[in-house]
Structure 1
């Protein structure tokens, strides 16, 4: 693999990324080098998606912002998302753009206010397609002036390199994930739908103790620390819908 050097303020190389957490650390480092404070990797929203949360794989965006964004179901109101359905072109925005500049988006007023409150003034979205054909976005946000075309070009190259390494690690993880048993998958599916252990036990005619045992086993197999992480990882690995 070609060694790739990051902005002159750092000495990090892509070959140092051995885990997905390493890739995110590099992405945050790159964002910071361009005056941006947040970095995310998400699945690209589709027509049926209502919430951003289930699509997020990695993110440094404030949790309160994400919760409020989903409470208002802003995924369906975002003026940018429809343009990314099949695009390979980066999308850049700045909330300070004016109509006279010809760059201003028709942001819903309450969505714009939310982003301004969390100082997500300027951003960039870089769409990528994995080898398994799934569509992803690398998103960078911060409080600065609009990115220049040269900055966009540099960020696009760096984001692609990081995403390629991240996706390679993701697919390797998927290939080596230990298969969950039929019961563990059933329990994980019902947990994803918000059911408690008692409720799942009633549905599957099991004791809540047995349900918890299946959950614990599934968490160990997928190297998770809690139910939320188990559900998120099982969905990400396409073990459950």
Structure 2
């Protein structure tokens, strides 16, 4: 196990007095993110505190075997980062199901990398196979009370978390996820009318289908399927169809 082989390295790293626990409660701004831009700013601040170079927030898709992660925002906002694309790919559905069913952080590393969790922190998290090649990452499961489930992921070569920081970051992730989910209601009120066919095409895109797949599923030509996706992208003021899917999910237009 990687967890066992890295125990000595982890002990050396976290015995350093310069790596004292980050006083999150003293430095974290006492405010809610009322816009997506503010949520991105707060997530970037949180990422900086754990030396993460990237972050992504996902909504969990449909229940069961087809469960997927739908990217909502990340460090490349308003675009979509490579990490978000990798973790929302059809090929990582098993990780999406594991994340949706977990209540503890999930972390992964390369065999040649040092563990970035202290020994005590590792007891509160579960090590998994990397869902994205050549990355070190940690995923925090989040949810609203009796509402939507999601995942906030951080990645980077220089991350470092002890037990207290791990717990505090997870709590901050819950707060950020609540803010982003709440924005869905406000965004929905501002959204233009998206037709039933346009929503069907977006929903199938969220399930990982290509334009050819969507056309075949709905009995349309590929040109018509693409036109529906283009229309919905423009109506939602999105930069591409993946961004449109993310905005539609955030607005509750699709599940």
| TM-score bucket (shorter structure) | 0.5 to 0.7
Instruction: Map 1:1-241; keep pairs closer than 5 Å.
Output: 8=27, 12-15=29-32, 17-44=33-60, 47-49=64-66, 54-60=69-75, 63-64=81-82, 73-76=91-94, 78=95, 82=98, 85=101, 87=103, 89-91=104-106, 96-97=114-115, 107-108=128-129, 111=130, 114=133, 117-118=134-135, 120=136, 123-131=137-145, 133-144=147-158, 146-185=160-199, 188=202, 193-195=209-211, 203-204=219-220, 212=227, 217-240=231-254
> Given that residues 70 and 246 in structure 2 are in contact (C-alpha distance below 8 angstroms), is that contact kept between their aligned partners in structure 1?
no
Normalising to structure 2: TM-score of the pair? 0.61
Query: More deviation in 168-177 or 25-34?
Result: 168-177
**What's the CA shift for 1:168?**
1.4
> Given that residues 36 and 140 in structure 1 are in contact (C-alpha distance below 8 angstroms), is that contact kept between their aligned partners in structure 2?
yes
Residues 130 and 238 of structure 1, relative CA distance in 2, 3 Å threshold: same
5+ residue gaps, structure 2, are 1-23
> Given that residues 138 and 155 in structure 2 are in contact (C-alpha distance below 8 angstroms), is that contact kept between their aligned partners in structure 1?
yes
5+ residue gaps, structure 1, are none
1-structure distance, mates of 2:190, 2:146: 16
Count of residue pairs the alignment pairs up: 217
3-state DSSP class of the match of 2:211? coil
Q: Which has the higher contact order (CA 8 A, sep 6+)?
A: 2
Residues 145 and 25 of structure 1, relative CA distance in 2, 3 Å threshold: closer
Normalising to structure 1: TM-score of the pair? 0.63
2-structure distance, mates of 1:154, 1:65: 23
3-state DSSP class of the match of 1:35? coil
